A and B are shown apart, each in its own frame.
Chain A
Amino acid sequence: MLSTSLISLISMGMLGAVLAGGLVVASKKFAVETDPKVDEIEEVLPGANCGACGYAGCRAFAEAAAGEKAPVDGCPVGGSKVAALVAKILGMEPVEGANRKVAQVLCKGGHAEAKLFAEWNGPRDCRIAQSTQNGSFKGCSYGCLGLGTCVEACPFDAMYMDDNGLPVVIEEKCTGCGMCVRACPRDIIVLAEEPQGVHIRCRSLALGKDVRGVCSVGCIACRRCEKECPVDAITVEDNLARIDYDKCINCRKCVAVCPVNTIEYQEGKPVLKKRRAS
């Protein structure tokens, strides 16, 4: 009779061969075709899977771009650099890039400025508070609920909640992907193209006196900013002043005349910029 070690060798060897053979057959039957360009494009993408391009992650965008369904500059996070690389991979001409966009939180009503009618003890999610009770624990029905859904939505860790209950954007890290814009149930966050430095940080459509009742820094639609603006970039509509970012030249005259300090200017932005051709 054969020795034990020989039997073990033969039986294990045969088993291995049978299983390997089965796997070879299976690999041919279940082979998946992949376009090498898709892998190349995925390499140059930021890889954050943030969904700003409108596709389900970077791989999905790479597949769409390779199939010429998505534009080469479809990745707002990668910007013009990535657009040029993707164009090169697909053998196309690079595209002119635009200035990067940065998220701006258009509400200043934190714990110190805005009234709260009640304490919220539900799940710490602004969308849940808004959909279940219209966020009515907060006095202003247009103001920031402060539960941090936008901060959690940011895939780049570019936001945090400050002690006043308002989200803060770290401009250096913000890529303008727009996830926070989508996350906010009250549409308080907008994307503004750099180097826009003046922002009216209020979204309340309530009458001025009602705004004063719940917030000390809300826009009361007094129209002083509208009259002061030298380029007519501000319009007051539905009890709210709004800046047309395409016309604004960062001169800051509106900041000086606003009686409730709703308009803010960010230091470090060029004071006068060329007016965009309309």
Chain B
Amino acid sequence: MELFLIFIGAVFVNNFVLVRFLGICPFMGVSKQTETALGMGAATTFVMVVTAALTWLLQWYVLEPFGLPFLQTPVFILVIASMVQLVEMFLHKTSPGLYRALGIYLPLITTNCAVLGFSLIAVQGAYSFIQSLIFGLGAGIGFTIALMLMAGIREELRFADVPKPLAGTGIAFIIAGLLSLAFSGFAGLV
């Protein structure tokens, strides 16, 4: 039951993009089309889950026993960067179309503060291995849901009469704010 609550918490109640305000760069940058948004979300989820496993192992079997908790940030970043490189190579081979569509945002998953943020939060919360995995899965899925919502809305916005000064990024940020307001309705659910 606790695992399910962690999952729901990560996906809705404390959604990484709309409630914690992490990972806003790809949220704004890749949310123009639903196909690319889905691809980006899937790639980020994969990175998060694998990172969850590796960082948990490193934190509790290498850093703590050897008395190196201060190395947390660089070690986590090292792991995240390697995982992102792996995902890049994998996508370049299996889905060149998606690889090109994501463009620069694929290597930018490395600097996506949602990924580092989630691993640091998992470590602070002293989650068990399985709990970290589920937390990572939930974080990734929540990120994907936020991205898909935004992409769907922005696709509709193309035909709307947006005032010139707000066109593009301006209206996107306003929409993001409204989405955040909506998601704050989940507070107290878990």
Contacts and interface: CB of A to CB of B under 8 A. Distances in A.
Looking at chain B, what size class is its interface with the partner chain?
Answer: 20 to 34
A30 B90 contact: yes
A22 B159 contact: no
A193 interface: no
A27 B89 contact: yes
Interface stretch (A9-17, A65-73, A179-187): A9-17
A228 interface: no
Given A19-B78, A19-B79, A124 B159 contact: yes
A123 B86 CA distance: 42
A12 B75 contact: yes
Contacts of B78: 12, 15-16, 19
B133 to A, nearest CB: 20
Interface in A1-24: 4, 7-8, 11-12, 15-16, 19-20, 22-23
A32 B92 contact: yes
A59 interface: yes
Nearest to A7: B66
A277 interface: no
Contacts of A31: 93
Interface in B71-93: 71, 74-75, 78-79, 82, 85-86, 89-90, 92-93
B67 A7 contact: yes
A26 interface: yes
Contacts of A23: 82, 85-86
Contacts of A4: 67-68
A239 B187 CA distance: 67
A128 B68 contact: no
Given A11-B62, A12-B75, A26-B89, A123 B160 contact: yes
A26 B85 CA distance: 9
A264 interface: no
Contacts of B82: 19-20, 22-23
Interface string A27-48: 1001110000000000000000
Nearest to B156: A123
Given A7-B66, A59-B100, A124 B90 contact: no
Contacts of A59: 100
B93 A32 contact: yes
B161 interface: yes
A15 B75 contact: yes
Contacts, number: 50
B153 interface: no
Interface in A59-91: 59
Interface in A105-150: 123-125, 128
Main secondary structure of the interface of B (DSSP, over half): helix
A266 B90 CA distance: 55
A11 B89 contact: no
Contacts of A27: 89
Given A15-B78, A59-B100, A124-B161, A8 B68 contact: yes
Contacts of B90: 26, 30
Contacts of B62: 11, 15
B159 A125 contact: yes
A30 B92 contact: yes
A124 B163 CA distance: 13
A123 B159 CA distance: 5
Interface string B158-174: 01110000000000000
A31 B71 CA distance: 33
Contacts of B74: 12
Nearest to B71: A8
B58 interface: yes
A233 to B, nearest CB: 40
Interface string A152-165: 00000000000000
Interface of A: 4, 7-8, 11-12, 15-16, 19-20, 22-23, 26-27, 30-32, 59, 123-125, 128
Given A30-B93, A32-B96, 7 more contacts: A19-B79, A26-B85, A30-B89, A31-B93, A123-B159, A124-B159, A124-B160
9 contacts: A4-B68, A7-B67, A15-B58, A15-B75, A20-B82, A32-B93, A124-B161, A125-B159, A128-B159
